[in-house]
């Protein structure tokens, strides 16, 4: 299948850390930033307890406005760190951690990102970005010299809705200005990225670098450098 436009998710797709436990590692870093030491195993156990809480299961909107994004992340980090045994009032320290995170600290660009974006751009493929993130994502892309790759970006805190809400996909498709059957979407989350894209008739590939989501049996790749062959660029050349 040939595509004219490729749209990428950000967190876990373009930006993260080169480890299968990158998300959990951020909590270890956050604890350190507020003066405590916890292990990855403590974070995983604490996160499991937190995610099982009824309030968490009921929560829908998390990053649909700037204030909402800040509240969500500060509360999430505080709750998980408390569950992991880090006690006391952490809010001020976590607010500062959030600000540093939104400056791009603690993040890395995955090693397969630039080669893939370079190849796609060189062959005239239009690139876009769709992400559940705060309003600071544009600054982060600038910090890592990624902004110029993208013809358009759709960021949840700027448009007032977030994945998997179909509205944010409608906004993205409008900005893509490309027939749906000529668009390929890439994301790392089966339920927030792949399923809603498929529901509106857009082909989607799951980036599953560490085989965490094989049970979903979705079209998937382990590295972004596999994308060129999906868009009709033979051997990525």
**Cα separation of 137 and 49, whole Å?**
29
pLDDT of residue 198: 97
Q: Which of 212, 158, 236, 217 is nearest to 16 (CA)?
A: 212
Number of domains in the chain: 2
Q: What percent of the chain has pLDDT over 90?
A: 88
Bridge partners of 207, per DSSP, are: 221
**Cα separation of 205 and 8, whole Å?**
10
Pick from 54, 70, 101: which residue ends a domain?
101
> Could you list the residue range(s) of the whole structural domain that residue 175 is in?
5-17+108-236
**Cα separation of 107 and 110, whole Å?**
9
Pairing, β 108-109 against β 15-16: antiparallel
| Tens-place pLDDT, residues 81-138 | 999 999 988 999 999 999 999 999 999 999 999 999 999 999 999 999 999 999 999 9
**Cα separation of 70 and 63, whole Å?**
8
Q: Is the pLDDT of residue 140 over 80?
A: yes
Q: Are residues 137 and 80 in the same domain?
A: no
């Amino acid at each position: 299948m040939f595509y004219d436009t490729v749209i990428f998710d950000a967190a876990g797709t373009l930006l993260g850390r080169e480890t299968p436990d990158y998300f959990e590692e951020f909590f270890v870093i956050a604890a350190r930033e507020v003066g405590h030491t916890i292990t990855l195993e403590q974070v995983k156990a604490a996160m499991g307890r937190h995610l099982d809480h009824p309030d968490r299961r009921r929560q829908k909107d998390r990053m649909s406005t700037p204030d909402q994004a800040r509240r969500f992340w500060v509360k999430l980090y505080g709750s998980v760190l408390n569950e992991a045994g880090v006690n006391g009032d952490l809010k001020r320290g976590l607010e500062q951690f959030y600000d540093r995170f939104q400056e791009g600290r603690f993040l890395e660009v995955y090693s397969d990102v630039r080669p893939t974006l370079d190849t796609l751009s060189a062959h005239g493929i239009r690139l876009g970005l769709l992400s559940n993130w705060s309003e600071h994502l544009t600054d982060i892309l600038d910090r890592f010299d990624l902004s110029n790759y993208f013809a358009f970006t759709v960021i949840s805190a700027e448009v007032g809705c977030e994945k998997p809400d179909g509205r944010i996909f409608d906004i993205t498709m409008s900005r893509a200005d490309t027939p749906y059957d000529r668009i390929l979407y890439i994301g790392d989350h089966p339920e927030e990225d792949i399923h809603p894209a498929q529901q509106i008739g857009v082909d989607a590939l799951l980036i599953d670098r560490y085989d965490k989501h094989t049970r979903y049996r979705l079209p998937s790749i382990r590295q972004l450098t596999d994308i060129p062959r999906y868009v009709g660029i033979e051997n990525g050349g």
